[in-house]
Amino acid sequence: MKNIVNCLAIMVLFGATTVKAQVGIRKKASAEITAVMRKKADAVGMRPMADNALEADNGYIYSKKMDIQQSSADAIYMSRSKSVPFAVYGAIALKYNDLGTIRSEIGYPQMDEAKMKDGAYQFFDKGAIYWSPKTGAHLVRGNVLQRYMNEKYANGFLGFPADDLKITPDGKAVYCYFEGSCIYNNNKYGAFAVAGDILRKWGEERYERGFLGYPIAEAKAARLGSKSNEITQWSQEFEGGMLVANTDGSLLQLVPGMSMQNARDFPGIYATYQALGGVSSWLGYPTEKAIHGNGVWLQQFLRGYIYRKDNDAIGYTIRKGAIWNEFAKRGWEIGCGYPTDNEVLKGNTTYQVFSKGTIYYLGDVNQTLWKEGDNGQWYLDKKGKNKGAISTF
């Protein structure tokens, strides 16, 4: 009977929904501690309170006085190290209670609840809980919280968290979804936000489980075109390639790199594109997806192509224009073989070496010529001589 009475007394003290920290409660706190914590309760309008604050793990807890039919997770918490009481109430208190309050991974509150936009937030020792009527209350912590801070928290483009922090299936990263984006934190690469059409395409590719793997850099903006017709293009790098999107949604392309599932079958175009400078390079943005055929990978960009033979370590670029047109006229690799280098500009002459010969464009006479079996040596042999050298083709 005595145990039943004690149990009922605890339920009256903490309510039907009690703070989970009670497992660490040992005894009543001193009158001085209770007075300090009661003052905080009065300041935030938390009433009625229990008769005494109680000692808890590394601090104190002061709960609302409830009867057996009522429930509340609202309470005042104070750690011994800080000796400053903070109130946790409402939706944030319910979330904190679900996590385990002071015995959770986030520890004691470090501030009172603060308003932000149409919601609120509260920082704890090792994390923060954000709440809005639309998204509910969710925990953000670690490097994801730091990245969130860099975007002005809920005041930035990310908005409020829409879910709690989760661990990826492979156990290598944690991630959190927000109203406007998600943040992935992989200890190997760091924490990066993925948003908009890039996030959608990444999802279509099965996120980190797919070809692209994890994000390895932040999205970058490139503003191209004239002032009257400027287009902002966003590009973001992943383990397995790059995604490029226009702000207006008119373009979304993948520049593929090595397959994360099968290293023997990879386009390898991304490495070449990245080395040139990506969207800001002379190639510009990708205009079509990469295609595979006749033992080569090919992807078209605004001003040229990246062309890579199967099993070659790198790809080569071919500019749109005279050399590309001659390459096409001669049946691509059937007539010219595979490119073995990028184009070379020497004075008014531009040439590119292929495995079966060299295509020259002579700017002085606006003429494109093919030299079979040549590796670019013809120009070196003939430079400085008269234009009659052209007739040797």
Q: Each residue of 178-209: pLDDT tens digit?
A: 998 999 999 999 999 999 999 999 999 999 99
pLDDT above 60: residue 218: yes
Q: What is the pLDDT of residues 69-94, one digit of tens each?
A: 556 799 999 999 999 999 999 999 99
* CA dist., res. 104 & res. 123, Å (int): 14
Averaged over 341-346, what is the pLDDT? 92
Q: What is the pLDDT of residues 270-289, one digit of tens each?
A: 989 999 999 989 999 999 99
Domain count, the chain: 2
Q: Which residue has the tokens 């060299």?
A: 358
Tell me the pLDDT band of 388, cut-offs 50, 70 and 90. very low
Q: Is residue 67 part of a domain?
A: yes
Measured in degrees and rounded to the nearest 5, phi and psi for residue 228 equal: -80, -20
Count of beta carbons in the 10 Å neighbourhood of residue 134:
11
Residue after which a domain boundary falls, among 94, 111, 128: 111
* CA dist., res. 315 & res. 117, Å (int): 49
pLDDT above 70: residue 103: yes
Specify the range with the lowest mean pLDDT, choosing from 14-23, 36-45, 236-245, 257-266: 14-23
Contact indicator for 29, 85 with CB cutoff of 8 Å: no
pLDDT score of 230: 66
* CA dist., res. 323 & res. 203, Å (int): 38
Q: Is residue 346 part of a domain?
A: yes
Q: Which two tokens stand for residue 151?
A: 């975007």
Q: What is the mean pLDDT of the chain?
A: 86
Q: Is residue 357 part of a domain?
A: yes
Q: Is residue 226 part of a domain?
A: no
Residue after which a domain boundary falls, among 87, 111, 135: 111
Contact indicator for 345, 361 with CB cutoff of 8 Å: no
Q: Is residue 353 part of a domain?
A: yes
Tell me the pLDDT band of 328, cut-offs 50, 70 and 90. very high
Q: How many residues does the chain have?
A: 393
Residue after which a domain boundary falls, among 57, 78, 111: 111
Q: What is the pLDDT of residues 287-307, one digit of tens each?
A: 999 998 888 889 999 999 999
Averaged over 7-34, what is the pLDDT? 59
Contact indicator for 103, 21 with CB cutoff of 8 Å: yes
Q: Is residue 119 part of a domain?
A: no
pLDDT score of 184: 97
Range of the domain at 7: 1-111
Q: Is residue 131 part of a domain?
A: no
* CA dist., res. 83 & res. 254, Å (int): 54
pLDDT above 80: residue 16: no
Q: Is residue 101 part of a domain?
A: yes
* CA dist., res. 167 & res. 184, Å (int): 10
Q: What is the pLDDT of residues 246-275, one digit of tens each?
A: 877 778 999 988 654 544 456 779 989 999
First to last CA, the chain: 110
Measured in degrees and rounded to the nearest 5, phi and psi for residue 88 equal: -125, 125
